[in-house]
A and B are shown apart, each in its own frame.
Chain A
Amino acid sequence: MFDEKTLQQVHDGMLEWWGKVKAAVDNGRGMRRFSTVSDMEVKPLYTPEDIRDLDYAENLGTPGSYPFTRGCQPDMYRGRVWTFRMFSGFGSARDTNRRYHHLLKHGETGLSIAYDYPTLMGYDSDAPRAHAEVGKCGVAIDSLADFEVLMAGIPLGEVTVSHTINPPASVTWAMNLAAADKQGVSWDRLGGTLQNDMLKEFIAQKTFMLPPEPSVRLVRDIIEFGTLHVPRWNTISISGYHMREAGATAVQELAFTLADGMTYVQDVLDHTKLDVDAFAPRLSFFFDAHIDFFEEIAKMRAARRMWARIMRERFKAKNPRSWWMRFHTQTAGCSLTAQQPLNNIVRVATQAMAAAMGGTQSLHTNSYDETLALPSDQAVTVALRTQEIIAEETGVTNTVDPLAGSYFVEALTNQMEEKALEYFDRIDAMGGMLAAIKQGFPQTEIADAAYRYQRQLDRKEKTLVGVNKYVAEEKTPIEILKIDEKLEEEQVARLSEVKRTRDNREVARALGEIRRACDGGRNVMPHVIEAIKAYATEQEICDVYRDAFGRYQDPGFF
């Protein structure tokens, strides 16, 4: 990037600068170690020397072209700003449908379904294990009947829907496809995303149902079915978010997410007839936007560059759309505090700004009350407005990748990539990500980082405003959302009504077909859709999976 003469001048200037800084160090100021929230050391000054080997064409490229460091789209947010997609769901399908209409009316442009724990784990609302959890952490969905209420008045051909669900992803997707049929929307017009990323469940989010191999097999069935029949659907959202929330560093989030992505690509190539360029363009990703502004931007830029290289060099993809990494971002729930909750608005705004500068395709902004409960109407509206202000008032969308060329940001982007590649080597040496997960490697790396950060907070080496510094005795009263305890009873009643009025022989027949597909290695999706259309419940289908494949027990690494 720079000629030798310039670099010499820079070097001479650095020597002079260091003389001044050293005086401060000798006086006892400036001795402290400065690091990112992930504990990556940061130098006091970055100069052209830090990026002397940066090759514009090879390392950055123009936006919309390989290696996509500067963004997926040539014009980025000038053409269209990121999708305002608020992760949302609570109580009954009717309660959540009301919230969706509220958000869409206030400028939201895509939906993201938050399911309750029983739904995420493949249990119906009447299961003993579901007791006291129904509708608490998301919306309770037992059958197509609930899903139809959830999407009432929402045109599925126009609004994209994201399903944050993993072991039962095939089931809720089948509900979505069946609901589209009922609305008369053909599948080739249907847009949306399934999270459907099981590897990170074993690593971090811990909503697992089946052992790792059959879990990955269901992921593959979905990728295959979507590629052939629902061409605009993102069949997987390969997620680093949950690892980061579990305590991972930015580098760990980056490395483990891409390693998971490579595992899925290889698995589809090994077990289906699909060509890499047939399915790779519909792989999508999901990252955290944590509080350390520059680290996050560097991580997102490095992620795009690394994925492009992986897809072109490792998997020999030829379609540029197979090289580009599109991702959703959510601000960091784990950075929010229950103390002085209004401060969270500032944290979320900073993180959302980082996501915008990092070139995200869609964004969820957390609500300030989320460490206390699910968001109230007021809190979620502030969170949505935060995105609107950043997109339309601040000017950060005026130009593409505004921080490119910053000595610091480019050096940090390079450093992210180097450190993540070191993790790839360690994972390869273990025999790949599945083997590494079984050994508890990523789980333990993340737990180490989480513990280190907690200790740094306890020793006040890292600051959390309102928690270990600037503590206030008085409490800020805020309104929080409560889920009515009657909800569970009503949901169970609705479920028994569905079971009473459907054709039970047709349900049994369809469930039998799913079992045969499981055993025979055929794609389960066509049979799951049939079962859903016959109003089979989510648990009935997941019980077939559990019977066919067994269950996974958490080894409890700590």
Chain B
Amino acid sequence: MSPKRKLRVLVAKPGLDGHDRGVRVIARGFRDAGYEVVYTGVHQTPEQIASTAIQEDVDLVGLSCLSGAHLFLFSEVVRLLREKSAADITVIGGGIIPEEDIPKLMDAGIKAVFLPGTSLDEIVQWTEANVRPVEESQEPAR
């Protein structure tokens, strides 16, 4: 049996929003938690994010949006991953998101939404409990 590999995480900023303080703090937090982290910078389209997630073989995609366009952009990333047969990649999100939008995001396939004030430890704990390396959870391996 091969030793369990590190989790691979893509943190991404969809849309035109430039607020990247949170996403960069999270990228470092994931790295310090021992994950391999990919961050592709601001102004990514949902298509770019889905393609990167597949190319980089990640287990988790963390999306950040503070501009109010989260409903469309987050849902679009999940839809594209499904379309590309990569529905096994977990997608989570955070940012300035009204409470009433959270159920809509969950319905669209976002597995968790983290709001301002969440500590890094909470996010890492959630990840430990809910995300496994993709090929381990799949039979046969992708």
Contact = CB atoms under 8 A, between A and B. Distances in A.
A132 B39 contact: no
Nearest to B68: A136
A137 B68 contact: yes
Contact of A483 (B18, B19, B28, B68): B68
Interface in A285-344: 334, 337-339
Nearest to B97: A372
Interface in B1-46: 15-21, 23-25, 27-29, 37, 39-43, 45
Of the listed residues A466, A480, A483, A554, the one surrounded by the most CB atoms of chain B closer than 10 A to its CB is A554
Contacts of B43: 121, 206, 554
A373 interface: yes
A118 B67 CA distance: 11
B106 interface: no
Interface in B101-121: 115-117, 119-121
A247 B25 CA distance: 10
Contact of A372 (B18, B45, B96, B119): B96
B42 A457 contact: no
B131 interface: no
Contact of A137 (B27, B67, B119): B67
Interface stretch (A33-41, A408-416, A421-429, A446-454): A446-454
A339 B117 contact: yes
A118 B16 contact: yes
Given A372-B96, A450-B25, A480-B98, A117 B15 contact: yes
A454 B25 contact: yes
A246 B20 contact: yes
B72 to A, nearest CB: 4
A120 B16 contact: yes
B6 to A, nearest CB: 17
A410 B19 CA distance: 34
B134 interface: no
A458 B121 contact: yes
Interface in B42-78: 42-43, 45, 67-69, 71-73
A207 B67 CA distance: 13
Given A554-B43, A555-B41, A206 B20 contact: yes
Nearest to A483: B68
Contacts of B69: 117, 132-133, 136
A542 B26 CA distance: 33
B32 to A, nearest CB: 9
A121 B42 CA distance: 12
Contact of A132 (B19, B27, B73, B119): B73
A342 to B, nearest CB: 15
Contact of A556 (B29, B40, B72): B40
B77 to A, nearest CB: 13
A350 to B, nearest CB: 20
B116 A338 contact: yes
A302 B35 CA distance: 42
B72 A132 contact: yes
Interface in A343-376: 371-374
A100 interface: no
B98 A372 contact: yes
Nearest to A207: B18
Nearest to B122: A458
A247 B21 contact: yes
Contacts of A470: none
B21 A133 contact: no
Contacts of B120: 454-455, 458
Contact of B15 (A132, A247, A372): A132
A27 interface: no
A338 B115 contact: yes
A558 B41 CA distance: 9
Interface in A441-473: 447, 450-451, 454-455, 457-458, 464, 466-468
A208 to B, nearest CB: 8
A123 interface: yes
Nearest to B27: A558
A450 B40 CA distance: 19
A514 B22 CA distance: 38
Of the listed residues A338, A374, A451, A556, the one surrounded by the most CB atoms of chain B closer than 10 A to its CB is A556
Contacts of A247: 21, 25
B96 A450 contact: no
B94 to A, nearest CB: 12
B28 A447 contact: yes
Interface in A264-279: none
Contacts of A245: 21
Contacts of A374: 68
Contacts of B27: 558
Nearest to B14: A132
Nearest to B11: A558
B16 A133 contact: yes
A455 B120 CA distance: 8
B40 A457 contact: no
Contacts of B121: 458
Nearest to B99: A475
A458 B98 CA distance: 23
A71 to B, nearest CB: 32
24 contacts: A117-B67, A121-B43, A131-B72, A133-B69, A136-B67, A136-B68, A205-B18, A206-B20, A247-B21, A337-B116, A371-B96, A373-B98, A374-B68, A447-B24, A447-B25, A447-B28, A450-B25, A466-B117, A467-B117, A483-B68, A554-B40, A556-B39, A556-B42, A558-B27
Interface of B: 15-21, 23-25, 27-29, 37, 39-43, 45, 67-69, 71-73, 96, 98, 115-117, 119-121
Given A451-B25, A483-B68, A558-B28, 17 more contacts: A117-B16, A121-B16, A132-B15, A133-B16, A133-B67, A207-B16, A246-B20, A337-B117, A372-B96, A373-B68, A374-B68, A451-B29, A454-B29, A458-B119, A554-B42, A556-B40, A556-B41
Interface of A: 117-118, 120-121, 123, 129-133, 136-137, 201, 205-207, 245-247, 334, 337-339, 371-374, 447, 450-451, 454-455, 457-458, 464, 466-468, 480, 483, 553-558
